[in-house]
Amino acid sequence: MPIDLRSDTITKPTQPMLEAMFSAAVGDDVFGDDPTVNALEEKAARLFGMEAALFCASGTMTNQLAIRVHTRPGNEVICDKNSHIYLYEGGGVALNSFSSVKLLDGDRGRLNAQQVRDAVNNPQDVHAAVSRLVSLENTMNKGGGCYYDLSEIQAIRLVCNEHALGLHLDGARLFNALVETGESPLEYGRIFDSISICLSKGLGCPVGSLLLGTKEFITQARRFRKVMGGGWRQAGYLAAAGIYALDHHVERLKEDHARARAIGTMLRRLPEVEEIFPIDTNIVIFRLPDTIPAVDYVAQLAQKGIRAVTFGKHLVRFVTHLDFTDQQLEELEKRF
């Protein structure tokens, strides 16, 4: 039986989640009358203390909608060079919003307030794009699942206020950070202008992400979602999974983190592993020597029934998740 650690997106709904999905009351979300979608959006907005939310198919869609609403053609988005919005969303910042990006070199993908301040262009300089939006990622995928110190985010918020910049959070794995820090979603809702949270990663839903913001912001995002072909009909069957996940699958993320650290302990005993990124949440990234290409190593793992992904020429990534059990953890050690 394969042990699949490629991503936390590969999970299947639990039986109770399936029961919630199949018993959901549904309508037509494009007309705004799917009661379960409405309940999910209201629940998420209330959780973060924000005015409104929009249920979408993916985190890429919610991020791109946020950028589209925040910016105008020719504007600039400030983000880390390893941000998901830059590396893994198909050039969407340019394609969807006609904006450019200014890439910063953060600490494992985490920016600080001084970096942001130094990156803001002079709005009177006709040669430069107009800085309009700062986008942070928490937890940081390419940084090995590391998370921000809330005080640094608050300092970045002040810089954004000084320069009239929007502040967006790609919070695809935000709940992984929150269960580690003990911080409240309300604290994040007070800081950010918009937040994207993913339901189909650690929370175990089959599909879906949410975009949070003001009522006016979400009204605009809903229009652009329709333009992108993102309007859907009886989406309540999927929204019911999101409601179940928010009620039952947040605190259990700590189990994924513990198993990730256990994998790190195993990897330290393997002679071919040169470096392991600090394991803060559910992502394990390790470095191989220059003589071992990651693509070859991942192929060898697959022969042992271990599924992983390359994360660079000599980097490999594992991600723990809802379907990765203690029994599989024991089996993984045997296969290593």
Together in a domain, 152 and 201: yes
Together in a domain, 289 and 243: no
Together in a domain, 212 and 88: yes
Together in a domain, 85 and 198: yes
Query: Of the residues 187, 217, 248, which one is the last residue of a structural domain?
Result: 248
Together in a domain, 180 and 200: yes
State how many domains the chain has. 2
Whole-number Å distance between alpha carbons of 165 and 99: 14
The tens digit of pLDDT for each residue in 306-333 reads 999 999 999 999 999 999 999 999 999 9
Q: 1 forms bridges with which residues in the sheet?
A: none
Together in a domain, 330 and 232: no
Q: What is the 3-state secondary structure (H, E, C) of the chain?
A: CCEECCCCCCCCCCHHHHHHHHCCCCCCHHHCCCHHHHHHHHHHHHHHCCCEEEEECCHHHHHHHHHHHHCCCCEEEEEECCCHHHHCCCCHHHHHHCCEEEEECCECCECCHHHHHHHCCCCCCCCCCEEEEEEEECCECCCCCECCCHHHHHHHHHHHHHCCCEEEEEECCHHHHHHHHCCCHHHHHHHCCEEEEECCCCCCCCCCEEEEECHHHHHHHHHHHHHCCCCCCCCHHHHHHHHHHHHHCCCCHHHHHHHHHHHHHHHCCCCCCCEECCCCCCEEEEECCCCCCHHHHHHHHHHCCEECEEEECCEEEEECCCCCCHHHHHHHHHHC
The tens digit of pLDDT for each residue in 45-76 reads 999 999 999 999 999 999 999 999 999 999 99
Together in a domain, 92 and 166: yes
Together in a domain, 204 and 311: no
CATH at 234: 3.40.640.10
Together in a domain, 159 and 307: no
Together in a domain, 260 and 239: no
CATH at 297: 3.90.1150.10
Query: Of the residues 248, 273, 302, which one is the last residue of a structural domain?
Result: 248
pLDDT at 304: 96
Domain that holds residue 89: 15-248
Together in a domain, 151 and 55: yes
Together in a domain, 220 and 292: no
Query: Of the residues 248, 267, 300, which one is the last residue of a structural domain?
Result: 248
320 preceded by cis ω (within 30°)? no
The tens digit of pLDDT for each residue in 135-181 reads 999 999 999 999 999 999 999 999 999 999 999 999 999 999 999 99
The tens digit of pLDDT for each residue in 174-209 reads 999 999 999 999 999 999 999 999 999 999 999 999
Confidence at 301, pLDDT banded by 50, 70, 90: very high
